[in-house]
Each structure stands twice: as C-alpha cells, then as structure tokens.
Structure 1
Amino acid sequence: MSTPATSDEQPGRRRWLVALPLVGFLAVAALFLLRLYGGDPSKIPSALIGRPAPQTTLPALEGLANNGVPVPGLDPAAFKGKVSVVNVWASWCVPCHDEAPLLTALAKDTRLQIVGINYKDSPDNARRFLGRYGNPFSMVGVDANGRGAIEWGVYGVPETFVVGRDGTILYKMVGPVTPANLDSVLKVEIEKALKARP
C-alpha cells in the first residue's frame, strides 16, 4: 500500500513538470540553431546541379556598353559550347562590392565567359557599380522583379554558378567569391568543367 506524498514532494514534482516543456523547447531550439549556423552556407545543396540551366531570358542593362558595343542581356542559348560562370549580384549588396575585383580578374581567363544577373537593382546604380570595378560580364541580364533568380534557385545575392559547355549547372556557390574560395573552390570547379568532355 502506497503512502500519500508528503507536502515537500508535491511542489518539487510540479516544478519539474512545469519546466519539462521549457527544457524540451530549448533542446529543439539549440538543435535548430546548430543546423542553421553550424555549417558552411556555401555548401547549401541545389536541386539544379546536374540539370540544364534555366531557359530564362533577361533584358540587357540599358546603357551598358563594352568598347562602344552594347552588352547583351541573358540569352540561355549562349551557354552552349562555353564554360560559363554566372554571378547573381546587385549594387546594394555589400559582399558584391568585395567580390567584384575578383570577378574582373577572373574574366581575363579567355577559356570561359562570365555572365551577370543583376538582381532587383536600379539601372543607374548597376552601371555605376560596373563603372567603379570594371565589367567582367559578357552578358548582363536585368532581373528587376526577381523572377529569374527564383528560376535559378537563388537564396540571396551574391551567388555564383558554374555552367558546363552543354548548358548543365555543375556547381553553385552561395555567398561571395573571396580570395580564399576563389582558388580553393571556384577555380577548381571551373577547371573540372573545362576538362569535362562535351
């Protein structure tokens, strides 16, 4: 026969029962934060890897020229036959300013083409941005409403893709191109794409 709980046992048990949901919530929150911030954001997988680049046509950045010739907008047909680096950028994006000189230097590699998608930007600011850092892009598509970025599966600017000669997306970098990841990651992926058989 059990004895009734003493008055000292009841409050301690109640406190534990009241605290149990809070302990559970804190454990779930800690797990969520660990998954959210514990990994490398540049390694977020993309459902588009191994698939054809989106057939998104975007208009040219009005008034942008290279040696007096207007720079064309984004034409998906231009991916065929060339290894392409597609960079989604905006003048209001702080990391885009940091990566711009690196992309300009990368554009000197004549084995590939660098394509820009200008995301939700004003044309004047976009032209000023390219005037300040140089224009590495052989094409600049204006994505004024963000629809093109959605089709490319962009999480946020900047993001960079490597597209193979057959128009297939081979790699996606989330976040800015930096001096560290340019050589150790992006150029490695570009070389793989250049060596791949068409």
Structure 2
Amino acid sequence: MADGLSLENIVIKKGEDTLLSVDARIPPGTVTTIMGPSGVGKSTLLSAVIGTLAPEFTLSGQIKLNGQDLTRLPPEARGTGILFQDALLFPHLSVGANLAFGLTPGGTRTERRDRIDAALCEVGLEGFAQRDPATLSGGQRARVALMRMLLSQPKALLLDEPFAGLDAELRGQIRDLVFEHASAGALPVLLVTHDREDALAAGGPVITLD
C-alpha cells in the first residue's frame, strides 16, 4: 500500500475547457506546493481533494490517500483537513468550544476537556479555553484553527494560503508551526500559495500551474 497523498492523472475541466492537469505523489511528512496566478485553479484542486468540487467542474483521474481511493467518497469520509486564509472560527463559541468541534467522537467530558487544554498549551495558549474568538489576535486565531483541525485527526493536510493574512514575522512563526506539526504527525501536505517564501520554507516540490 502506497502511503501519502497521490494525485494520479488528475484533470479538472469546466465544460469542454481543461482548467488544470496534475500528477503528483506527496509522501507522509512532506509538503508539495502549488503555485500560479489567480484563476488558474489552485483552490479548485483543493476542493477536488476534499470532495467539495463545484458541479460546474468535472474531474478525471484518481485521488488516493494511504492507498485508499478517495475520488468518489463524500468529504466526511476522506480523512483530510484544510486550513484557509481566514481562520473561520465560530464567533458564537468560545475558543474551547471551537476546539471541541474538531474533536473526534468519544471520551468523557473530562477527557475531552483535557485534550482541549493540552492542545492550547501546545501552541502557547494555555488558559484561553473560555476566551471569545473576537478577542484574539490574527496569530492566535491561526493557532486555534490549526489545533481544531489537528484534533480531528486528519490523515492529510491541505493549506489554502493560510499564511497570507499575517505580517511577515508572524507568517514565518505560524508557517513553521504548521509544518512542524505536519512533519511530527507524518501528514502529507498540499500547499497553495502565491508566496515563494512559503514554497521555500516548505522545502518540497513546487508545481506551477499556468
């Protein structure tokens, strides 16, 4: 069984027009970067991988994760996690409740609370469980979004320009944090970015769409 994320002869069309064509394998713990101008289909490719491709597009080829064919599975059965430029925290829930939303089912209330507290400690946000997301800085929101996604125990990580809204210093910190967690968890990562520094920091292959 081949481990990692494989995009095998992927072709996405809109009507009769070919939007993109990609063939790539992303081993566990490594990052492959997709670059290209706006409108070339980078985010559409991520939608195809997570299973939310809009109906006006057609997909051919196979998407495999650890040897399992995901191509026809619904999003909730794919085992993929995604981070966007916007952290997309639920504004009506506390930080802790946002993280609880990402937890896999099971465990007692105390066990789940302990997992949330441990996740916050891991990213330097100890004691933030009761905080309102509106009171967080951009970097704090990004860290909460990352841990919420990781608590869902994904088998692959997709990044849709999640560092783009951060200033230069914070961008590097959050980027390193994401890549370190992906490497530690042996997660294959597919990164979409306009920024060459992101691609250099990722340290893996770069696929340019044009």
Q: Counting strand residues as a fraction of each chain, which structure ranks higher?
A: 2
Q: Counting helix residues as a fraction of each chain, which structure ranks higher?
A: 1
Query: Do Structure 1 and Structure 2 share a fold, with TM-score over 0.5?
Result: no
The two structures have a TM-score, normalised by structure 1, of 0.28
The two structures have a TM-score, normalised by structure 2, of 0.27
